[in-house]
Amino acid sequence: MWGLAWFWWLIVVFLWVIFIYFTFALAASKGRSPFLWVILAIFFPLITIIILLVLPPTDRAGSV
């Protein structure tokens, strides 16, 4: 039973990294700060992705 425990942790870490990358890409595509959203996703994963999906894209064309 304990022989394959490391394998399940490896799968969890792999999925976590994919989730973090998805959060980074989604934030960048919406014109938000990707690094800030990744930091939030590390601590509050489900809430962060829901908020990012609901937020509208920002208009950065007019900013300096």
Q: What is the pLDDT of residues 9-50, one digit of tens each?
A: 999 999 989 999 999 999 999 999 999 999 999 998 889 999
Identify whether 12 is part of a domain.
yes
Q: Which pLDDT value is given to residue 63?
A: 52
Identify whether 30 is part of a domain.
yes
Which has the higher per-residue pLDDT, 59 or 54?
54
Residue 3 has pLDDT above 80, yes or no: no
Identify whether 24 is part of a domain.
yes
Identify whether 18 is part of a domain.
yes
C-alpha span between 5 and 10 (Å, rounded): 9
**Integer CA distances (angstroms), 51 to 11, 30, 47, in order:** 26, 12, 6
pTM of the model: 0.77
Q: Which pLDDT value is given to residue 45?
A: 84
User: Into how many domains does the chain fold?
Assistant: 1
Identify whether 7 is part of a domain.
yes
Domain that holds residue 37: 2-54
Q: Which pLDDT value is given to residue 1?
A: 58
